[in-house]
Chain A
Amino acid sequence: MSVVYILWLREVKKYLRSRIQIVASLGSPLMYLAVLGFGLGPVFQRAGEGKYLQFMAPGVIGMTVLFTAMFSGIAMLWDRQFGFLKETLVAPVPRLLIMIGRTLGGATVAVLQGALIFAVTLIVGFRPVSLLAVPLAFLVIALIAVIFSALATAIGSSIKEMQGFQMVMNFLVMPLFFLSGAIYPLEGLPRVLAALTRIDPLTYGVDGVRGLLIGRTHFGVALDIAVLLGVGVLFVAFGAWRFSKIEA
């Protein structure tokens, strides 16, 4: 247990120390919120969908969590050659504990980053319908964070070259974000797009957070949470398996 704790603590400490990185990471979510949020607002309103900022704020929180969690995968690639990962691989502890510690640490960092963006959305004018739902929404956010940290661990364990990560960014992370319904409603989509959004785990995450924060949901919060739990178990198992296969 102390092994998981110390590795978790390491990730969190590193996050809290990297002030510049925290500020820098606020850039793109702010851009989405301010430019897209206010830019598309009038069209959204005219289409009778209400305030766009309200709609997309949960999506931007989901995006932040996705990006932050996936970034820990790149970090791991570097860590494997020039960092701390090797030290943990020769330590007399089961790889599973190391993977869990790292993944929980990465997920915690993603949740903290999500909380920061949540605060920013409040400043920009986002209003959750009920404050009581906020803790529950963060439970869903935590699930999103665990899912993608585990996925990042699996990817970081599987690829060897830095260039590989560019591929992952373009062909996995960006599609995960754009297909998640973070920036558009899931109703009335063309059939192919609708099918694609349904296989994206982030869709259920964003839908769940949106359901809890503004009371608008496509699948229903219960189904969202059930899907997230299922995918979470699957991805953690997959990540642990890939991590156990790392050869230094």
Chain B
Amino acid sequence: MSDRPIIRVERVVKSFGTVTAVNDVSFDVRPGEIFAFLGPNGAGKTTTIKMLTTLLRPTTGSLELDGLDPTTQPTEVRKRFGVVFQDPSLDSDLTAWENMDIHGVLYHVPRHTRRERSELLLRMFELWERRNDLVKTFSGGMKRRLEIARGLLHTPKVLFLDEPTLGLDPQSRNQMWTHVQSLRTAEGVTVFLTTHYMDEADRVADRIAVIDHGRLVATGSAAELKRQTGTDSLEAAFLALTGTTIRDESATAADQMRQVSRVWRR
């Protein structure tokens, strides 16, 4: 039972019109490991996460999370994962505690457990003292920590983190990973993350998959990738695998809104 992969992705293709975002990708994630999904902008990382988290359906191929198919059993699958999206998904006009509480209700966590676990997680992520403050008064790092704490409230088997440290200073990043690692040890949760920071992946990930142009180009531990490419850092290995060309994506409506949000500093 224990060596059955918690996530299985098999020959998955996702196309939007004529663009193929994910092209024939297969990989497994083992229970309890920290799995990093790396790739340049537009490589298909977020699309893969969206498919695994039931927000998108693959065009062809099959997915499995804890033995369940996200396309046919979305509700069951949703109970089993927590997710921190690239863009914030907290309600900034509510307090940290209220955000946790709503999440608990949405995931049918019984009231007593909800309170106990909210307290445990808020303490662990050092947000307990601020629990009754509105989220809009929080720093970027605090918001991220709250999102992770919230994602763990319903004791999921898998935690998806889509570029969780984007825009955080090194101190917050460091602290965040320390929390995530100790949580993995304490609860055995599988962590599936994407990041642009190679040092992070090198430090925290048990295994790494590199995706480029929608195709998987390498899988293995950081050491294996370095050996395979004959390089001495993960960054060099990454560049050896994906090349040095800069990827220019065309801006979508979401990107334009991101621009506005940056200006308004929300």
Residue A187 at the chain B interface, CB threshold 8 Å: no
| A92–B261 touching, CB < 8 Å | no
Binds B, one of A39-47, A76-84, A117-125, A131-139: A76-84
Pick the contact of B56 from A7, A162, A247 — CB < 8 Å?
A: A247
| Binary contact track B169-191/A, C-beta < 8 Å → 1, others 0 | 00000000000000000000000
Give A204 to B148 CA distance when docked, in angstroms: 48
Digitize A5-34: 1 where CB-to-B-CB distance is under 8 Å, 0 elsewhere.
011001001100110000000000000000
Do the beta carbons of B50 and A162 come within 8 Å of each other? no
Q: What is the bound-complex CA distance between A62 and B50, given in angstroms?
A: 41
In the complex, how many angstroms separate the beta carbon of B114 from the nearest chain A beta carbon? Answer: 11
CB-based contact B78/A14 at 8 Å: no
B107 an interface residue at 8 Å Cβ cutoff?
A: yes
Cα–Cα distance between A194 and B75 once the two chains are bound (Å) = 49
Is A2 an interface position by the 8 A CB rule? yes
* Contact A90-B78, Cβ < 8 Å, known A10-B102, A81-B87, A248-B55: yes
Per the 8 Å Cβ criterion, residues 89-113 of A in contact with B are 89-94
Q: In the complex, what distance in Å separates the CA atom of A6 from the CA atom of B94?
A: 12
The answer to whether B105 touches A3 (Cβ under 8 A) is: yes
Contacts of B239 in A (CB 8 A): none
CA distance A88 to B105 in the complex (A): 11
Known A-B contacts A10-B94, A82-B257; the reply to A91 vs B89 at CB < 8 A is no
| CB closest chain-B residue, reference A94 | B75
Chain B residues positioned under 8 Å from A10 (CB to CB): 91, 94, 98, 102
Judged by DSSP, the binding face of A is helix
The answer to whether B266 and A82 have CB atoms under 8 Å apart is: yes
Interface string of A57-96 (1 = CB under 8 A from B): 0000000000000000000001001111111111111100
Whether the Cβ atoms of A92 and B94 lie closer than 8 Å is no
Q: Determine if B90 and A84 form an interchain contact, defined as CB atoms under 8 angstroms apart.
A: yes
How far is A87 from B84 in the complex, measured between Cα atoms in Å?
9
Let me know if B260 is at the binding interface, CB within 8 A: yes
* CB-defined contacts of A92 to chain B, threshold 8 Å: 75-76, 78-79, 106-108
Q: Closest CB of chain A to B153's CB: distance in Å?
A: 11
- In the complex, what residues of B have CB within 8 A of residue A18's CB? 93
Q: Is A49 an interface residue (CB 8 A)?
A: no
**Quick one: given A81-B87, A90-B54, A161-B253, are A6 and B260 in contact (CB under 8 Å)?**
no
Within 8 A of A (CB), among B120-161: 150
Complexed CA–CA distance, A99 and B266 (Å):
25
Taken together as a complex, chains A and B put the C-alpha atoms of A82 and B256 apart, in Å, by 12
Interface residues of B in 47-81 (CB under 8 A from A): 50, 53-56, 75-76, 78-79
User: Which 5 A-B pairs rank lowest in CB-CB distance, beginning with the nearest?
Assistant: A91-B106, A92-B78, A84-B91, A248-B55, A160-B253
A sample of 20 more A-B contacts (CB under 8 A), given A10-B91, A83-B88, A248-B56, is A2-B105, A6-B102, A10-B94, A14-B91, A81-B87, A81-B254, A81-B258, A82-B88, A82-B258, A83-B90, A84-B89, A84-B90, A85-B89, A90-B53, A91-B106, A92-B107, A93-B75, A162-B257, A162-B260, A248-B50
